[in-house]
Amino acid sequence: MVSVLGFGCMRLPIIDGDTTHIDEDKAIKMIRHAIDEGVNYIDTAYPYHGKGMEHGGESEPFVAKALRNGYRERVKLATKLPSWLIKTRADMDRYLNEQLERLQTDTIDFYLVHTLNATTWPILKEAGISDFLDQAIKDGRIKHAGFSFHERIGLFKEIVDYYDWSFCQIQYNYLDETYQAGKEGLEYAAKKGLGIAIMEPLRGGKIAENLPEDALTFFNQADNKRTPAEWALRWVWNHPEVSVALSGMTTMDHVTENIKIAQDAQGNSLTEKEIDIINQVKALFKKRIKVNCTACAYCMPCPAGVNIPGCFTILNDYLISGGTPELKDRFKHLYNFRVGAAAHASKCIDCGKCESHCPQGILIRQELNTVKELFESI
């Protein structure tokens, strides 16, 4: 059994803006407090808090530290095979064995084949992913096999049917109901008996913080007053097919709020009026958001130093706020202050490396030009 709230270790608190420098004191306190309050699903991955998708990040070794002193025995640990680095059957064993060492554990409770898409899936099938997972379960290195997914629904169904998976992980929130696997995939996997973990339930915080005033006005029409984060999480947990929602918590306030929300989380608990209110907020966001970025940072680091998620955050915040000429100077200032001249969109060298890693399929170079034209023009 897993808790309805899982702790995602991709957005841990960091020091001096360096994603590879986890603030271990703060993060350990957060994770252990969550476990003490009943959270028992801890999710990490090979590249999290690293310098790029080709290298092992700092999240896995940190999680090993956080789970010392008896905490490992109290949780279900999840991590992921870096599918984009796999060329042969031997690669699979090599990365899994390395991850067991990095996590200082003999077994991984929930092991996912990471971010499957139309590029990685054929290579993994040819290399023998089924045999690898069967053997890893047989020899006890992993207990349950699953996959995370960033592609279209047709491929999702093919992958679900290909192997005897225990679970899957999909992106799902009230803005992404028809995106990637979406609701159709959620229901398909549930009917096949898979457990379902939800990533990006708050869309990287985009639907939890700094919402436009008209969105808050919609929410305030409800009889039950809730924060935007509560509305978003309650929407996900309103689906009885969901086993666990992963929240990438960055502060202790996030932890305490999410735990409080999870205590009341139940399927089919929202009223028709409440769902209608969320749909109105959804329509507002859909109308204004230009770039479908969740700030996952899979595109980073940029060889030219561009802060890609930072650029898109400023762009979307500007458009959500109304995108008026009167707001432009204020957002130019925020762009220069938060992103910095050395990481401006204009530094892009058009190499396209970022686009090959983006799970959202964003035309990053094209959208960076939009940012440049809006916030770097005189």
pLDDT tens digits, residue range 253-288?
Answer: 999 999 999 998 889 999 999 999 999 999 988 888
| Residue 106 banded pLDDT, cuts 50, 70, 90 | very high
Q: Report, as an integer, the average pLDDT of 154-159.
A: 97
Closest CA to 308 of 376, 266, 362, 378: 362
Q: Report, as an integer, the average pLDDT of 286-299.
A: 85
Q: Residue 148's pLDDT is what? A: 97
Question: Per the CATH hierarchy, to which homologous superfamily does domain 5-286 belong?
Answer: NADP-dependent oxidoreductase domain (3.20.20.100)
pLDDT greater at residue 187 or residue 378: 187
pLDDT greater at residue 205 or residue 116: 116
| Residue 55 banded pLDDT, cuts 50, 70, 90 | confident
Name residue 95's amino acid. Y
Q: Residue 334's pLDDT is what? A: 81
> Which residue matches tokens 């008026």?
324
Closest CA to 8 of 24, 33, 25, 31: 31
Q: Residue 10's pLDDT is what? A: 94
SS (H, E, C) the chain: CCCCEEEECCCCCEECCEEEEECHHHHHHHHHHHHHCCCCEEECCCCCCCCCCCCCCCHHHHHHHHCCCCCHHHCEEEEEECHHHCCCHHHHHHHHHHHHHHCCCCCEEEEEEEEECCCHHHHHHHHCHHHHHHHHHHCCCEEEEEEEECCCHHHHHHHHHHCCCCEEEEECCCCCCCCCCHHHHHHHHHHCCCEEEEECCCCCCCCCCCCCHHHHHHHCCCCCCCCHHHHHHHHHHCCCCCCEEEECCCCHHHHHHHHHHHCCCCCCCCCHHHHHHHHHHHHHHHHHCCCCCCCCCCCCCCCCCCCHHHHHHHHHHHHHCCCCHHHHHHHHHHHHHHHCHHHCHHHCCCCCHHHHHCCCCCCHHHHHHHHHHHHCCC
Domain boundaries of the chain, sorted by first residue: 5-286, 308-375
| Residue 88 banded pLDDT, cuts 50, 70, 90 | very high
Residue 321 predicted with pLDDT over 80: no
Whole-structure pTM value: 0.84
Q: Report, as an integer, the average pLDDT of 24-33.
A: 98
For 175-206, what is each residue's pLDDT tens digit? Answer: 899 888 999 999 999 999 999 999 999 988 88
Closest CA to 297 of 24, 109, 50: 50
* Strands 5-8, 142-149: pairing kind: unpaired
Q: Residue 286's pLDDT is what? A: 85
Residue 30 predicted with pLDDT over 80: yes
For 199-244, what is each residue's pLDDT tens digit? Answer: 999 988 888 988 888 899 999 999 999 999 999 999 999 999 999 9
What proportion of the chain, given as a percentage, has pLDDT over 90?
76
Backbone angles phi, psi at 166, to 5 degrees: -85, -30
- Residue 108 makes CB contacts below 8 A (sequence gap 6+) with 77, 78, 79, 96, 99, 100, 141, 142, 143
For the ranges 3-7, 301-305, 306-310, the maximum mean pLDDT occurs at: 3-7
Mean pLDDT, rounded, of the chain:
93
Backbone angles phi, psi at 100, to 5 degrees: -60, -40
